[in-house]
Chain A
Amino acid sequence: MSMKRLFQNIKGLWSLLVGLKVTGGELIKPWLTVHYPRQEVENLSSYRGHIELVPATDDPLTPRCIMCWKCVEICPSRCISLRMHATGEAGVAAADDPGLLLAPEVKSPYSAHLAPPPDKIERILDSYRLNYSLCSLCGLCVQICPVDAIRFSRNAYLVGTTRQSFELDLLARLKSQAASARGAAPTQPQGA
């Protein structure tokens, strides 16, 4: 063994002491972990929980969603399902043709045999359900939404004992959140 390697080994011994100094220093520093039931993490801004609906700017009780179905179609896990209905006279007429109801501006120019599209169809979201037990949190629905009507929630403490407890009604959640934000009693518990 050459002298150089000998000195290298002795230098290696010194590194052992350096390591001990590092861990010994950490030993006497305070904890970094958060004791969940007694403490909660303060900053959840970067947390990506299940998706939630964004309320419209003028009315916190209605979602911003325009029911374009893009999130439902792009979801690789097929975990989003939504129901809606149309109101008004035009809406009743359009209700016969589900395709028209969904996307009148796409369907009508190429469907000469159909009646001309109604001027305006009022679409109302009946339910927006997320089966969170299937969701892989890929975020494609959030990306594709043309009006930014979906975002990740910060619901970090979602707990349930049954599969059904992860089938979330996001519309009800939006309404209950809006109601509790106003100070009224929530109509439905969060995450239900």
Chain B
Amino acid sequence: MTAQLLELLSHPLGQMITALAAIMVFMAVNGMALQYAERKVAGFIQRRPGPYEVGPHGLLQPFADAGKLISKQLVAPLGADRLLFWIAPLVSVAPVVVCFLPIPFSPLLTGMNINLGLLLILAFSGLNTLALCLAGWGSNNKYSLLGAARAVAQSVAYEIPLLLSVLAVAFQVGSLDLAAIAASQTQGLLSWNVLVQPLAFIIFFISGIAETNRAPFDLPEAESELTAGFHTEYSGMCFGIFFLAEYSYMVVVCAVATALFLGGWDGPVFPGPWWFLAKTFALIFAMMWFRWTFPRVRFDQLLNICWKWLIPLGLANLVATAAIVKWVQ
């Protein structure tokens, strides 16, 4: 019986289903933990305690919030395109589950070993733009529509420098397999790509923040001007799902950055997965730190940063990398 079960699980399909189930659990726990962490970081930066009343140091606050979100009524606004309106949160959260599959938490702890993992993540994370667009269009609300328009313009623009920085690393290693890229950086701190390709790392991280719609690039959900942007009309768990997707995309971006630039699972004493998670969550902490430090950019500034700075720099970096790689060969 056990042997049969193991055989079933070791089948690629069984392995994938197990991985997907584990990823969904991870995403739920991660969403709750990160929203608590975000509020605590926000609190501490503003010299206040953050959530404090529910449980010791507010530790049970995420559970209270989850209960509230799940139990709230779902309301579709009058005149909304109901199909698109209800499907948008699912379109937002479904690809992110797939994005976790090729992330190498350690050489063994990988959802699916495929040699095009990086491509898979980039392709599926692009679907989030579609979800925001559907949400904005389906809501029949001017704020949602403006938020969606901004989301599309922003995501389309920032995918280019993101790809350019990723390509530089892919050129250098000669692989699109995240595990192989991470494995190429296991010869100590100096072999980490953040030191070999510092510019690519900076471009990747900035573009990653913009792709996940995080402050200072949170224009699609700019509270002060668009109420909540594309998710203005979403209540209860539909909002919760967008929220979960946003935090999961943060983890994906930071995990990819860890695998590409920070040596993946490389580190002394502790087992690899712990190092991978520590680096990922350190980057997420940096994202939260940015959010509570920098004011939101204006939309023209946002696009200027991308088209006038990141894309030329990314291109130059890519050309230089290609030239050096060719020369070394």
Q: Which residues does A use to contact B, with CB under 8 Å?
A: 1, 9, 16, 19-20, 22-24, 26-33, 35
Q: Which residues of A contact B309 (CB under 8 A)?
A: 9
Q: Which of A16, A26, A27, A29 contacts B294 (CB 8 A)?
A: A16
Q: Which residues of A contact B290 (CB under 8 A)?
A: 20
Q: Which residues of A contact B205 (CB under 8 A)?
A: none
The answer to the question of B44 belonging to the interface, with a C-beta cut-off of 8 Å to chain A, is: yes
Show 15 A/B contacts (Cβ-Cβ < 8 Å), sorted by A: A1-B308, A20-B289, A20-B290, A20-B293, A23-B289, A23-B292, A26-B45, A26-B46, A26-B47, A27-B41, A27-B44, A27-B45, A33-B47, A33-B48, A35-B49
Given A24-B289, A35-B52, also A19-B45 (CB < 8 A): no
Q: Which residues of B contact A9 (CB under 8 A)?
A: 309
Closest residue to B305 on the A side, CB-wise?
A9
Q: How far is the CB of A47 from the nearest CB of chain B, in Å?
A: 20
The complex places the Cα of A28 from the Cα of B49 at a distance, in Å, of: 12
Q: Which residues of B contact A27 (CB under 8 A)?
A: 41, 44-45, 289
Q: Which of A16, A19, A24, A31 contacts B49 (CB 8 A)?
A: A31
The complex places the Cα of A10 from the Cα of B324 at a distance, in Å, of: 26
Q: Which residues of A contact B47 (CB under 8 A)?
A: 26, 29-33
Contact B48–A31 (Cβ < 8 Å) = yes
The complex places the Cα of A155 from the Cα of B71 at a distance, in Å, of: 39
Q: Which residues of B contact A35 (CB under 8 A)?
A: 49, 52
The complex places the Cα of A35 from the Cα of B309 at a distance, in Å, of: 46
The complex places the Cα of A132 from the Cα of B290 at a distance, in Å, of: 44
A23-B45, A31-B49, A33-B49 known, 17 other contacts, Cβ within 8 Å = A1-B308, A19-B293, A20-B289, A20-B290, A20-B293, A22-B293, A23-B289, A23-B292, A26-B44, A26-B45, A26-B46, A27-B45, A30-B47, A31-B47, A31-B48, A32-B47, A33-B47
Q: How far is the CB of B199 from the nearest CB of chain A, in Å?
A: 13
Q: Which residues of A contact B293 (CB under 8 A)?
A: 19-20, 22-23
The complex places the Cα of A16 from the Cα of B48 at a distance, in Å, of: 23
Q: How far is the CB of A155 from the nearest CB of chain B, in Å?
A: 24
Q: Which of B44, B46, B52, B294 contacts A19 (CB 8 A)?
A: B294
The complex places the Cα of A35 from the Cα of B49 at a distance, in Å, of: 9
Q: Contact string, B283-321, partner A, CB cutoff 8 A, digits 1/0?
A: 000000110111000000000000011000000000000
The complex places the Cα of A16 from the Cα of B293 at a distance, in Å, of: 9
Q: Contact string, B265-298, partner A, CB cutoff 8 A, digits 1/0?
A: 0000000000000000000000001101110000
Q: Which residues of B contact A33 (CB under 8 A)?
A: 47-49
Q: Contact string, B141-168, partner A, CB cutoff 8 A, digits 1/0?
A: 0000000000000000000000000000
The complex places the Cα of A97 from the Cα of B83 at a distance, in Å, of: 79
Q: How far is the CB of B31 from the nearest CB of chain A, in Å?
A: 23
Q: Which residues of A contact B48 (CB under 8 A)?
A: 31-33
Q: Which of B30-75 contact A (CB under 8 A)?
A: 41, 44-49, 52
Closest residue to A22 on the B side, CB-wise?
B293
Closest residue to B291 on the A side, CB-wise?
A23
Q: How far is the CB of A1 from the nearest CB of chain B, in Å?
A: 8
The complex places the Cα of A28 from the Cα of B40 at a distance, in Å, of: 12
Q: How far is the CB of B246 from the nearest CB of chain A, in Å?
A: 21
Q: Which residues of B contact A1 (CB under 8 A)?
A: 308
Q: Which residues of A contact B49 (CB under 8 A)?
A: 31, 33, 35
Q: How far is the CB of B288 from the nearest CB of chain A, in Å?
A: 10
The complex places the Cα of A30 from the Cα of B44 at a distance, in Å, of: 8
Closest residue to A30 on the B side, CB-wise?
B47
The complex places the Cα of A48 from the Cα of B196 at a distance, in Å, of: 62
The complex places the Cα of A82 from the Cα of B290 at a distance, in Å, of: 58
The complex places the Cα of A9 from the Cα of B293 at a distance, in Å, of: 18
